[in-house]
């Protein structure tokens, strides 16, 4: 079947098999399919990985499914999502109603799986951990929310007929992940609660499975951070990661004329990928100045492979005559039902570009929900609104039997994640009673140290703490449509930390539970109150790790043991 037929609000449309609902709608020129509760604003794809819930859509008798995660089926009937639809359907459940309550033990599930080591997350770190533990003799269960392993960095092609373009396929060293006799892959499953009984960890998954394991490796990755600006909620404004996910998995562009803006190494790569797939990138606006880049050049020279990679992206942009504006930032986006133009500034002058899409990113925030649930300590980063899980030289966390690797220990890319994953997998195997390859561990440790040094260098090169706060009327919380003025009013009224601000404004109480607005709200409250980031707290602690439907909770509670 070369094309599937489906309908959206009565329109007959087609899409390649394997398309997500979001990519299928975008291919057909539809950029929005949800309206907000308060302002009735149009919304569509934003984060592209299931964190923001801006892309909710109704499909058949299912209400409020995430269009970026849901595969479209031949004959599907999709409809615009409105908040009132949840009253008749499967409302999403999270910890909004009992945020500080002590949770009762999770209910039994219909299917139980026992294993030596459970690895959560199938990106480069998780895959490396799973293979290392399995090669050491452990039975391993690898859990990932995507249909295919690879994570965001090695996201595989999903649309039928696409072979990938180098980014859409797994590196050969990970080919064994789906065939290793001691690795069981639970794809399309998300761990929504993790706990410990007398002799094992118990991971409760949305796929109706409970995994019992002697040791756990957390490789849960990170979500994208965006500094809000007027118009950032317009359909067509997406994260740079969402643009890459569309390209890698589906070969779909977010638009034809795209501005790429923000800060960080992801910008050049995203822009180069867009150019290679046929988009016109009108400009790349990088917040970091040329002066800062030159100041860090001697340190960057100690990482020649990374420098060569960046130079390759820059060459692609130069051939396409894409201007790279250093020291510039996005000021606002304009449009009615979707973005039509974007204004950028360097503080002295401004430029406006006609666009139909904007890809923006200001860094990555580690996903800490499960780590905190399992009692793992983390530390606030000094100049960025995020925290990282604390690990020792063997990737052990402060939670006994829990190991961590990749972006949650500090954002640093695929090389760092993979090296740490090998170390974490071997350490977890030793904890489970299976001695591993000491030479492999030593090699991975050397690679991890080098990759960690590069991660620290990137922190120096791409700071965000000096960026000005958005204008007061700018929406901060996309779900609840809370503005920065409302956050400022709460601080002025005496709210000294983020939890207090949440209670007064509902910032962070929507579908995403603060996953998108939380980091910026932390930064804003710290600035407005004059307190350090660590003192104002964050919104990462959630008793239910990811939003699940009430029907999933009901089915889990009523199901007996296998």
Question: CA 164, CA 157: separation in Å to the nearest integer?
Answer: 5
Question: CA 361, CA 451: separation in Å to the nearest integer?
Answer: 22
- pLDDT, averaged in runs of 10, over the chain (562 residues): 90 95 96 91 95 94 92 96 59 39 42 92 97 98 93 81 56 94 94 89 88 97 96 98 94 96 96 97 96 93 94 97 97 96 96 98 96 96 94 97 97 95 98 92 96 92 88 96 98 95 95 94 96 94 76 54 36
Q: Give residue for tokens 């980063």.
A: 381
What the block records as the tokens of 190 is 């998300």
CA 190-111-88 angle, to 5 degrees, is: 60
Q: Give residue for tokens 């867009």.
A: 274
List, in sequence order, every beta strand (DSSP E) within 263-347.
Answer: 280-286, 324-326, 329-334, 341-345
Expressed in angstroms, the distance from the first to the final Cα of the chain is 38
What the block records as the tokens of 279 is 């988009």
Would you say 264 and 458 are in contact if contact means Cβ atoms under 8 Å apart? yes
What the block records as the tokens of 314 is 């820059």
Domains of the chain: 4-90 (3.10.20.440), 111-223+365-459 (3.50.50.60), 226-362 (3.50.50.60), 475-536 (1.10.10.1100)
Would you say 74 and 1 are in contact if contact means Cβ atoms under 8 Å apart? yes
pLDDT confidence of residue 206: 85
Would you say 483 and 329 are in contact if contact means Cβ atoms under 8 Å apart? no
Q: How many CB atoms lie within 10 A of CB 449?
A: 12
Per DSSP, the three-state class of 165 is coil
Pick left, alpha or beta for residue 334 (phi over 0 → left; psi -120 to 50 → alpha; otherwise beta): beta
pLDDT confidence of residue 559: 40
CA of residue 245 relative to chain centroid, distance: 11
Pick left, alpha or beta for residue 126 (phi over 0 → left; psi -120 to 50 → alpha; otherwise beta): alpha
Q: How many residues does the chain have?
A: 562
Task: Name the residue among 342, 221, 293 with its Cα closest to residue 463.
Answer: 293
**Which residues partner with 366 through β-bridges?**
222
pLDDT confidence of residue 47: 96
Q: Structure pTM?
A: 0.91
Distances (CA, A) of 358 to 236, 479, 515: 6, 20, 21
**Which residues partner with 66 through β-bridges?**
56
DSSP state string for 188-210:
T--EEEEEE-SSSEEEEETTSEE
Per DSSP, the three-state class of 246 is helix
Would you say 174 and 217 are in contact if contact means Cβ atoms under 8 Å apart? no
What the block records as the tokens of 273 is 């990928």
Would you say 185 and 122 are in contact if contact means Cβ atoms under 8 Å apart? yes
Question: CA 267, CA 281: separation in Å to the nearest integer?
Answer: 12
DSSP state string for 414-438:
HHHHHHHHHHHHHHHHHHTT----H
pLDDT confidence of residue 161: 53
Would you say 531 and 496 are in contact if contact means Cβ atoms under 8 Å apart? yes
DSSP state string for 495-540:
--SHHHHHHHH-TT-STTTTTTHHHHHHHHHHHHHT--HHHH--S-
pLDDT confidence of residue 85: 55
CA 68-70-73 angle, to 5 degrees, is: 130
Q: Give residue for tokens 């859990």.
A: 143
């Amino acid at each position: 079947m070369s094309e599937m037929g489906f309908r959206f609000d009565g329109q007959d449309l087609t899409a390649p098999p394997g398309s997500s609902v979001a990519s299928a709608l975008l291919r057909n020129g539809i950029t929005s399919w949800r309206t907000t509760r308060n302002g009735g604003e149009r919304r569509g794809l934003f984060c592209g990985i299931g964190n923001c819930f801006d892309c909710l859509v109704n499909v058949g008798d299912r209400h409020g499914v995430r269009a970026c995660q849901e595969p479209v089926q031949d004959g599907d009937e999709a409809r615009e999502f409105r908040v009132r639809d949840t009253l008749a359907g499967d409302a999403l459940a999270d910890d909004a109603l009992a945020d500080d309550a002590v949770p009762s033990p999770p209910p039994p599930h219909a299917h139980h799986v026992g294993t030596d080591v459970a690895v959560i997350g199938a990106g480069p770190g998780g895959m490396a951990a799973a293979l290392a533990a399995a090669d050491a003799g452990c039975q391993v269960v690898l859990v990932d929310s995507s249909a295919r392993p690879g994570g965001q960095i090695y996201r595989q092609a999903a649309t039928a007929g696409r072979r990938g373009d180098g980014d859409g396929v797994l590196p050969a060293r990970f080919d064994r992940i789906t065939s290793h006799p001691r690795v069981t892959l639970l794809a399309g499953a998300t761990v929504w609660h993790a706990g410990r009984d007398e002799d094992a960890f118990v991971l409760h998954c949305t796929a109706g499975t409970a995994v019992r394991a002697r040791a756990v490796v957390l490789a849960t990755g990170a979500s994208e951070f965006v500094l809000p600006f007027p118009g950032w909620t317009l359909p067509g404004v997406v994260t740079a990661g969402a643009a890459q996910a569309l390209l890698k998995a589906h070969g779909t562009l977010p638009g034809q004329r795209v501005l790429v803006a923000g800060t960080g190494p992801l910008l050049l790569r995203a822009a180069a990928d867009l150019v290679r797939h046929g988009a016109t990138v009108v400009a790349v606006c990088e917040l970091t100045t040329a002066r800062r880049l030159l100041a860090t050049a001697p340190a960057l020279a100690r990482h020649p492979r990374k420098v060569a990679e960046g130079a390759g992206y820059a060459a692609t942009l130069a051939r396409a005559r894409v201007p790279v504006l250093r020291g510039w930032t996005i000021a606002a986006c304009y449009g009615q039902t979707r973005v039509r133009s974007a204004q950028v500034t360097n503080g002295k002058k401004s430029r406006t570009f006609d666009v139909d899409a904007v890809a923006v990113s200001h860094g990555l925030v580690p996903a800490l929900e499960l780590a905190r649930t399992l009692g793992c300590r983390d530390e606030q980063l000094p100049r960025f609104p995020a925290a990282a899980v604390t690990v020792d030289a063997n990737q052990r966390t402060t939670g006994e039997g829990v190991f961590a690797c990749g972006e949650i220990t500090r954002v640093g890319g695929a090389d760092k994640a993979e090296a740490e994953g090998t170390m974490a997998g071997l350490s977890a195997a030793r904890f489970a009673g299976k001695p591993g390859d000491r030479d492999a561990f030593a090699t991975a440790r050397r690679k991890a140290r080098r990759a960690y040094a590069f991660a620290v260098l990137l922190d120096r090169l791409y700071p965000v703490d000096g960026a000005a706060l958005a204008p007061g009327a700018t929406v901060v919380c996309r779900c609840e449509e809370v503005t920065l003025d409302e956050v400022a009013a709460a601080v002025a009224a005496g709210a000294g930390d983020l939890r207090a601000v949440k209670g007064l404004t509902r910032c962070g109480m929507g579908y995403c539970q603060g996953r998108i607005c939380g980091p910026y709200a932390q930064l804003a409250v710290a600035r407005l109150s004059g307190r350090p980031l660590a003192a104002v707290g964050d919104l990462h602690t959630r008793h239910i790790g990811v939003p699940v439907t009430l029907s999933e909770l009901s089915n889990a509670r009523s199901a007996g043991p296998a």
